[in-house]
Each structure stands twice: as C-alpha cells, then as structure tokens.
C-alpha cells in the first residue's frame, strides 16, 4: 500500500469547500493518524515534566506558544506535513503557493476553577501585549488550521470557538472603509452566536484567516491540547492589505465555488 500516494490523493469534498465559503471553516474528522497524535502528546508532556511552567512566562505562553523548543521539531510539524492536512491545504491554496510549514504553535488550555464566561472573539495579526506582533505592523496570513490533540466532547472545555460567516462580514467592512481600519479600528457590527468546536483527538479545523475566533474557558477536569498553524500563500506579504477586501484571492482551489456563487 502506497500511503504517501493515498495522502496526496486526498481532497476536500464539494460540501466542505462550500462550508468554508459560507461559514468560514470546515471540520475534518480523523485528519491526523493516531500515532502522530500520541507522539506529539508524549513530547509535549515530557517537555512540561522536565521544563515546567515558569510563572513569569505564563501570559506569553498563553498568547504565543507552550513548549517553544518543540514548535519547529518534526514531532510537532509532522502533524501537518506528514498527514492529510497538507494535501487538503494545497487543494485550497495551491501546492506551489503554500509556504513550507516549519513552525506550529502548541496551544494548551488548563482547567480553571472560575465560573466560565462566554468566549470573546478576535482576528489574528493585530499588535497586542505579549502576542509577538510589533506595533504598527500586521501579522496576517491566509488560513488558520487547528489540530486537536485531545478529545473535546463538551463545550467550555477550552474549545476553539468560531463566529460563522464573519469572514465575509469583515471583507465587506474592509471594502467599504478601507483595509487601514484593521489598525485604526474596525467598525463594530452585529456578531453571530459563536460555535464551540467539539472534536476528538486527531480532528482538525481549517478556517479562513478572516474568520473571527477565540477560545472558551476550560471548566473541564482535563488539559486541552491543540496545535495551530498559520498558513501563508507565498505572495501574501506582497499584498497583505489588499486581500483583506478580496478574501479568496489566494485560494485558487475555491475558484469554482466563488464563481458559482457569483452567478
């Protein structure tokens, strides 16, 4: 059996592409083989056990990454590069267009004893305290991919939350007000109700960059383990402001859906 060829032949269904167009995301079940998930979990837990969590670094870790020395290692990056996620992303952005994935955020959410509050939303890439984006710059990209490394059968367990259809609402705002409002202040609009993603270890979510998202408090007894990848089209940085108001420009694999919707 040629496993490599099988992975290369994997494509998103028309229903999944339509969901990305309509809702801004799609959930891919069993995207990551269990051995890759277990290998990553073992490495993360070993790192936590040996390095610990310095209290003075906790806020930076929450906003950027835990286990920073693992983030560029194959034990983590293979979750994308050696799984079905890579051909699925290439199916959307183009095999020759996707910049190599050499870094993945390790995102943990520890249980809290406080009463959970509704999640709040954001767009990645705006300068902020401890998030690694320098003032006066933007850290935008093409697609956000989340890989779940632990089961999330219930809500308020540190779930990744999305606000469906906001990718298109933001596109409309940037067209009407100009992409500069990304830094000066995005006009507020009525947000839909958030969806808390429930999933099993090995599932993954593929989102348009411009989809509002956030994370719920963790009122469960378990640590939520996940890894996030910020995919970039190779030309993204040369037109990073323009794509805010032309959200499918760097998604050639979505052209059939976009054209069908325009008729």
Model pLDDT for residues 30-82, shown as the tens digit of each residue: 999 999 999 999 999 999 999 888 888 888 898 899 999 999 999 999 999 99
| Contact between 147 and 204 (Cβ < 8 Å) | yes
Residue 1 pLDDT level (bands cut at 50, 70, 90): very low
Mean predicted lDDT score pLDDT of the chain: 93
pTM above 0.85, yes or no: yes
Residue-level pLDDT at 2: 45
Q: Which residue has the higher pLDDT, 107 or 8?
A: 107
Model pLDDT for residues 172-213, shown as the tens digit of each residue: 999 999 999 998 889 999 999 999 999 999 999 999 999 999
What the chain holds in terms of domains, given with CATH numbers, is 12-257 (2.60.120.620)
Strands 204-208 and 143-148: antiparallel
Residue-level pLDDT at 55: 87
| Contact between 181 and 122 (Cβ < 8 Å) | no
Q: Does residue 8 register a pLDDT over 90? A: no
* Mean pLDDT value of segment 222-247: 97
Model pLDDT for residues 97-136, shown as the tens digit of each residue: 999 999 999 999 999 999 999 999 999 987 666 666 777 7
Residue-level pLDDT at 133: 72
Residue-level pLDDT at 138: 82
Residue-level pLDDT at 88: 97
Q: Does residue 262 register a pLDDT over 90? A: no
| Contact between 102 and 77 (Cβ < 8 Å) | yes
Residue-level pLDDT at 130: 62
| 214 three-class SS | strand
- CA distance linking residue 53 with residue 30, whole number of Å: 30
């Amino acid at each position: 059996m040629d496993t490599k060829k099988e992975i290369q032949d994997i494509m998103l269904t028309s229903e999944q592409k339509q969901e990305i167009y309509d809702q801004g995301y799609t959930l891919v079940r069993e995207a990551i083989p269990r051995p890759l998930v277990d290998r990553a979990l073992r490495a993360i837990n070993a790192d936590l056990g040996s390095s610990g969590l310095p209290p003075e670094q906790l806020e930076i870790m929450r906003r950027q990454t835990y286990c920073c020395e693992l983030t560029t290692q194959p034990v983590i990056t293979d979750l994308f590069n050696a799984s079905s996620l890579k051909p699925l992303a290439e199916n959307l952005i183009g095999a020759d267009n996707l910049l190599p994935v050499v870094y993945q955020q390790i995102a943990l959410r520890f249980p809290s004893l406080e009463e959970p509050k509704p999640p709040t939303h954001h767009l990645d890439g705006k300068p902020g305290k401890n998030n690694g984006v320098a003032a006066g710059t933007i850290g935008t990209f093409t697609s956000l991919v989340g890989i779940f490394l632990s089961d999330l059968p219930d809500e308020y367990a540190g779930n990744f939350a999305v606000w469906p259809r906001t990718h298109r609402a933001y596109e409309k705002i940037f067209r009407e007000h100009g992409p500069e409002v990304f830094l000066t202040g995005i006009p507020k609009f009525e947000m839909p109700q958030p969806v808390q993603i429930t999933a099993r270890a090995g599932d993954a979510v593929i989102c348009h960059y411009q989809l509002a998202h956030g994370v719920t408090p963790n009122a469960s007894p378990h640590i939520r383990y996940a890894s996030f990848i910020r995919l970039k089209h190779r030309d993204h940085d040369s037109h990073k402001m323009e794509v805010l108001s032309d959200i499918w420009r760097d998604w050639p694999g979505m052209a059939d859906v976009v054209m069908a919707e325009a008729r």
